[in-house]
Each structure stands twice: as C-alpha cells, then as structure tokens.
Amino acid sequence: MTTTTYTVKGMTCGHCVSSVTEEVTEIPGVTGVEVDLATGLVTVGSDGPIDDDAVAAAVKEAGYEVVAVP
Ligand SMILES: [Cu+2]
C-alpha cells in the first residue's frame, strides 16, 4: 500500500471534502482517500504507484485544483 499526499486549493467546507473524496476514490487502484480541510491536504492510498495526472484530473472534476505534487 502506497500513500501520496497532495495539496488542494479551494476547498472550504464539508461538501468540498466529499466531492474531492468521491472523485478521487473513483480512480482505479485507489484504496482510500483522506482529506484535511484545514490544511487542504489530500492523502491518497493506493495499491501501487498513483498517477498524479489522474489525481489532478479527478480533483479538477470536483471543481478544485492540485497546487502541489510531492
Ligand atoms: Cu464546500
């Protein structure tokens, strides 16, 4: 199990958190998503290496933006 943390800009409430969680969870191979609203950190657990572009696209689909990739 691999975990990767991204910084996401624009999340302001619990609804934002659930939108991002929902979209990122749909990426193949993702086993868990944890969002910290206060810091904007999104931690993605996956079976193998995660595709950063897929995460960025999913976050964008939810209406937000990945501003930092590890
Ligand atoms: Cu919100």
CA of 5 to the centre of ligand 1 (A): 20
CA of 68 to the centre of ligand 1 (A): 20
CA of 22 to the centre of ligand 1 (A): 13
Domain extents in the chain:
2-68
CATH for the stretch 2-68: 3.30.70.100
Using CA atoms, how far apart are residues 58 and 56, in angstroms rounded to an integer?
A: 5
For the stretch 14-70, pLDDT in tens is: 999 999 999 999 999 999 999 999 999 999 999 998 999 999 999 999 999 999 877
Using CA atoms, how far apart are residues 36 and 54, in angstroms rounded to an integer?
A: 20
Name the residues around ion ligand 1, CB cutoff 5 A. Answer: 12-13, 15-16
What is the reported pLDDT for 22?
98
Using CA atoms, how far apart are residues 30 and 14, in angstroms rounded to an integer?
A: 21
CA of 65 to the centre of ligand 1 (A): 13
